[in-house]
Amino acid sequence: MTSIIKFLTNTRGKNSLHWTDWLSYGYLMIGLFTMFAPVVWLVASSFKSESSISRFPPTFFPYTQKTVQVIGHEKPLPLFNVAQPGEPPKEMAQIRRIGIMATMVDPAKPTETLQININQRKPVDEIKAATENYTDIFKKFTFGKYLWNSVFITVIATLLTLLINSMAAFALSKYKFTGQKAVFLLIIATLMIPPTIILVPLFLVINSVGLLNNLWGVILPAIATPTGVFLLRQYMLTIPDEMLEAARMDHASEWRIYWKIVLPLAAPALAVLAIFSVMWRWNDFLLPLIVLSKSEFFTLQLALNSFQGELNTQWHYLLAMTVITLIPITLVFAFLQKYITSGIASAGVK
Amino acid sequence: MATLTLNAVSKSFDKTQVIRGVDLAVAHGEFVVFVGPSGCGKSTLLRIVAGLETPTSGEVRIDDTIVNQVGAADRGCAMVFQSYALYPHMSVYANMAFGLENIDIPKAEIAQKVNEAAKLLKLDALLQRKPTQLSGGQRQRVAIGRAIVRDPKIFLFDEPLSNLDAELRVSMRSELRELHARLGATMIYVTHDQVEAMTLADRIVVLKDGKIEQVGTPKALYESPCNAFVAGFIGSPRMNFLATAWVQKNAPVLLENCAAGSSLGIRPEHLQLAREDEGFAATIASVEYLGGSNLLHATLDDGTRIEALLDGATPLARGACIHLRFDPMKSHHFDATGVRV
Among residues B242, B196, B198, B250, the alpha carbon closest in space to that of B220 is found at B198
Q: Phi/psi zone of residue B213: left (φ > 0), alpha (ψ -120 to 50 degrees), beta?
A: alpha
Residue A347: the pLDDT is 34
Among residues B265, B261, B253, the alpha carbon closest in space to that of B307 is found at B265
8 A C-beta contact, residue B85 and residue A243: yes
Give the span between the Cα atoms of A169 and A165, in whole angstroms: 6
Optimal mutation site among A174, A249, A251, A270, interface B, most CBs of chain B within 10 A: A249
CB contact under 8 A, B84 and A348: yes
- The minimum CA-CA distance between A345 and chain B, rounded to whole Å, is 7
CB contact under 8 A, B87 and A348: yes
Residue B162: the pLDDT is 86
CB atoms under 10 Å from CB of A349, counted, come to 20
Which chain A residue's Cα is nearest to B50?
A249
CB contact under 8 A, A349 and B84: yes
Burial class (CB in 10 A: 0-12, 13-18, 19+), B325: middle
Among residues B167, B124, B121, B127, the alpha carbon closest in space to that of B148 is found at B121
Helix (H, G, I), strand (E, B), or coil: what is residue B308? strand
Smallest Cβ–Cβ distance between B52 and the set A245, A252, A350 belongs to: A245
Give the span between the Cα atoms of B24 and B192, in whole angstroms: 19
Burial class (CB in 10 A: 0-12, 13-18, 19+), B292: exposed
User: Residues near B72 by Cβ (< 8 Å), separated by ≥ 6?
Assistant: A245, A248, A249, B50, B51, B52
Mean pLDDT by 10 residues, chain A (350 residues): 80 82 92 93 89 81 83 84 81 85 84 83 82 83 88 95 96 92 93 90 94 94 91 90 91 92 90 87 92 90 82 83 88 74 40
CB contact under 8 A, A247 and B52: no
Q: In what order do the strands lie in the sheet with B240-243?
A: B240-243, B263-266, B332-334
Helices (H), B184-303: 194-200, 218-223, 228-233, 244-250
- Residues of A contacting chain B (CB within 8 angstroms): 240, 242-243, 245-253, 256, 260-261, 264-265, 267, 344-345, 347-350
Burial class (CB in 10 A: 0-12, 13-18, 19+), A115: exposed
Q: What is the pLDDT of residues B25-64, one digit of tens each?
A: 999 999 999 999 988 999 999 999 999 999 999 999 999 8
Q: Which residues of B touch A265 (CB under 8 A)?
A: 88-89
User: Residues near A86 by Cβ (< 8 Å), separated by ≥ 6?
Assistant: none
Which percentage of chain B shows pLDDT scores above 90? Answer: 51
Q: Which residues of A touch B71 (CB under 8 A)?
A: 248
CB contact under 8 A, A261 and B103: no
Among residues A322, A325, A270, A273, the alpha carbon closest in space to that of A150 is found at A325
> For B222, what's the count of Cα atoms within 13 Å in the CB-facing half-sphere?
17
Amino acid at A251: H
Among residues B314, B307, B270, B275, the alpha carbon closest in space to that of B293 is found at B314
Name the pTM for this structure.
Answer: 0.79
8 A C-beta contact, residue A192 and residue A226: no
In whole numbers, what is the pLDDT of chain B averaged over residues?
A: 89
Give the span between the Cα atoms of B164 and A262, in whole angstroms: 27
- The minimum CA-CA distance between A329 and chain B, rounded to whole Å, is 28
Give the span between the Cα atoms of B200 and B203, in whole angstroms: 9
CB contact under 8 A, A253 and B102: yes
CB contact under 8 A, A249 and B73: yes
- The minimum CA-CA distance between B102 and chain A, rounded to whole Å, is 6
Output the CA–CA distances (angstroms, integers) from residue B236 to B53, B176, B309, B313, in the order listed: 33, 22, 10, 20
Question: Measured in Å, how far apart are chain A's first and last C-alpha atoms?
Answer: 34
Which backbone phi and psi does A76 adopt, to 5 degrees?
Answer: -65, 140
Q: Which residues of A touch B146 (CB under 8 A)?
A: 246, 250
Q: Which residues of B touch A238 (CB under 8 A)?
A: none
Residue A339: the pLDDT is 65
- The minimum CA-CA distance between A3 and chain B, rounded to whole Å, is 26
Q: Which residues of B touch A240 (CB under 8 A)?
A: 83, 85
Q: Which residues of A touch B163 (CB under 8 A)?
A: 350
Angle at which helix B136-148 crosses helix B92-101, to 10 degrees, equals: 20
- Residues of B contacting chain A (CB within 8 angstroms): 50, 52, 71-74, 77-79, 81-89, 98-99, 102-103, 130-132, 136, 139, 146, 150, 163
Radius of gyration of chain A (CA): 30
Q: Which residues of B touch A349 (CB under 8 A)?
A: 83-86, 88
Smallest Cβ–Cβ distance between B98 and the set A250, A265, A350 belongs to: A250
Smallest Cβ–Cβ distance between B86 and the set A256, A344, A348 belongs to: A348
Residue A341: the pLDDT is 57
8 A C-beta contact, residue A226 and residue A188: yes
Residue A348: the pLDDT is 34
Query: Residue B254's pLDDT band (boundaries 50, 70, 90)?
Result: low
Helices (H), chain A: 2-8, 19-45, 50-53, 132-140, 143-174, 180-189, 199-208, 216-219, 226-236, 241-249, 254-256, 263-265, 267-283, 286-291, 300-307, 315-341
CB contact under 8 A, B86 and A349: yes
β-pairing verdict for A109-117 and A101-106: antiparallel
Give the span between the Cα atoms of A83 and A106, in whole angstroms: 13
> For A155, what's the count of Cα atoms within 13 Å in the CB-facing half-sphere?
7
What does the DSSP assignment read for B66-126?
A: E-TTS-GGGGTEEEE-TT----TTS-HHHHHHHHHHTTT--HHHHHHHHHHHHHHTT-GGG
Q: Which residues of B touch A254 (CB under 8 A)?
A: none
Question: CA dihedral defined by A263, A268, A274, A276, rounded to 10 degrees?
Answer: -140
ipTM of the complex: 0.82
The mean per-residue pLDDT over the stretch B111-121 comes to: 91
Give the span between the Cα atoms of B92 and B143, in whole angstroms: 9
8 A C-beta contact, residue A78 and residue A94: yes
Radius of gyration of chain B (CA): 24
Peptide bond before A62: cis, by omega within 30 degrees of 0? no
Q: Which residues of A touch B74 (CB under 8 A)?
A: 251
Q: What is the pLDDT of residues B126-153, one digit of tens each?
A: 999 999 999 888 998 899 999 989 889 8
Contacts A–B by Cβ distance under 8 A: 83
Among residues B95, B201, B195, B185, the alpha carbon closest in space to that of B138 is found at B95
The mean per-residue pLDDT over the stretch B247-263 comes to: 74
